[in-house]
Amino acid sequence: MTFTLIVRSILIYFLVFIFLRIMGKRQIGEMQPFELVITLIFADLATIPMSDTALPLVHGIIPIATLAIIHFILTTLSMNSLFFRKLINGKPVIVINPDGVDYDNLSKLNMNFNDLMENLRGCGYFNIEEVLYAIVQTNGTLTVLPRAPYAPITANNLKIDVEQSSLPIILISEGKAVKENFKLAKLNINFVNEKIKDYNIKPDDVIFAQINNKGKLYVQPKKGKFILIETNYNGDGNW
Amino acid sequence: MKRIIFIAIIFVALITLATIEVISVNNVIKHLEIETTEIQSQIEYNKEDVSVVLNKVENIKNYWNKYENKLCLIFNHKDLSTITDSLNKLSSYVENNDYDNAFVESNLLVEYATKSKHVMGFNLQNLF
């Protein structure tokens, strides 16, 4: 019986894993109401045949597969039709506008002032007067547009030219060279080995290394402080 | 596109599985129902010597054993073992010429077969 339960658990785990992957990444991130419903049912459907050996595994597989199909149909409909998107996902609701809190909308969402303030604080605004607009999105998150005096200052506000930085690329992770990233950056491991030679770090001691398109190489040895090496690498316009 | 292919494969697999299930399960259960009904009437007819149906009982037992493993894939295992137990009991009663118990058991078997057909079938009662 124990072996049966182990094998069933493994099968169900991978089955749910595969279906969640097919259903897309949003499933495990911020969920829309219908996605939440499917995830909750999924969990229950998976556990019943996992523990009850009298039930055939297909009693779990079939409903999960059916739900995956329904989910696919609903997401496709909501992607292609505005009407269905509104019907399935709902629409964002403005709870704070320039006149203040829209209490009617707040009530419709079953939210009270405590919930609103909690969410505002979560967004970094502790005073309600700092907020021009607050919108509750369809997945339940609150987004805030602050009034101009309370908005974060950007380089654009100060009319300063700022050089565009690029996404650093990881060359070594957990001591292992990330081959595809080396290929993307058109570099090889010797490039890193050459640069660290001057710092008395052996190649085997590097646990993490990344480089940006300004040629800044960040190297973290297994022990000791990280080192920042300026190189003449310019990204070669690769990423 | 990859997702559409995956979903299409899952959809086709589900429909295929459902069709195979409807056909094969119906055949097996229907056969069981017909045979057990016949055994039941023969037991009733041969009150003095019920062992005359022993061959029939053994045949249906073998038939059931042959398909039980396959039915396990889609059927609740407890329901299947109820039918297996009942067939074993019936075989034993028939062998010992025990009319009363054989009659009751054959009745139960007919009931189990009918019930299984209803449980597995696609009907309104199962939907709600």
Average pLDDT over residues A117-144: 92
Q: How many CA atoms lie within 13 A of A82 on its CB side?
A: 0
Average pLDDT over residues A21-25: 66
> Comparing A146-150, A218-222, B69-73, B120-124, which segment has the lowest mean pLDDT?
B120-124
Q: What is the pLDDT of residues B38-93, one digit of tens each?
A: 888 888 888 888 788 888 888 888 888 888 888 888 777 888 888 889 899 988 98
Which is more confidently placed, A165 or B54?
B54
Torsion of CA B11, B16, B19, B22, to 10 degrees: -100
Average pLDDT over residues A167-178: 90
Sheet with A142-146, side-by-side order of all strands = A100-101, A93-97, A131-136, A142-146
The predicted pLDDT at position A237 comes to 60
Q: Is the pLDDT of residue A29 over 70?
A: no
What's B2-126's CATH class? mainly alpha
* Percent of chain B with pLDDT strictly greater than 90: 0
Residue from the list B3, B13, B75 with its beta carbon closest to the beta carbon of A72? B3
Are the beta carbons of B17 and A53 separated by less than 8 Å? Answer: no
| Closest-CA residue to A168 (of A214, A210, A226) | A210
Average pLDDT over residues A190-201: 87
Question: Kind and range of the H or E element at A21?
Answer: helix A2-23
Q: How many CB atoms lie within 10 A of CB A201?
A: 20
Provide the b/e sequence for A6-38 (b: ≥16 CB within 10 Å): eebeeebeebbeebbebbeeebeeebbebbeeb
Which is more confidently placed, B128 or A72?
A72
Measured between beta carbons, the chain B residues lying within 8 angstroms of A54 are 76-78
Sketch out chain A's domains with CATH numbers: 2-87 (no CATH), 93-150 (3.30.240.20), 169-230 (3.30.240.20)
Measured between beta carbons, the chain A residues lying within 8 angstroms of B10 are 22, 65, 68-69
Average pLDDT over residues A119-123: 93
User: What tokens appear for A71 in the block?
Assistant: 């989910």
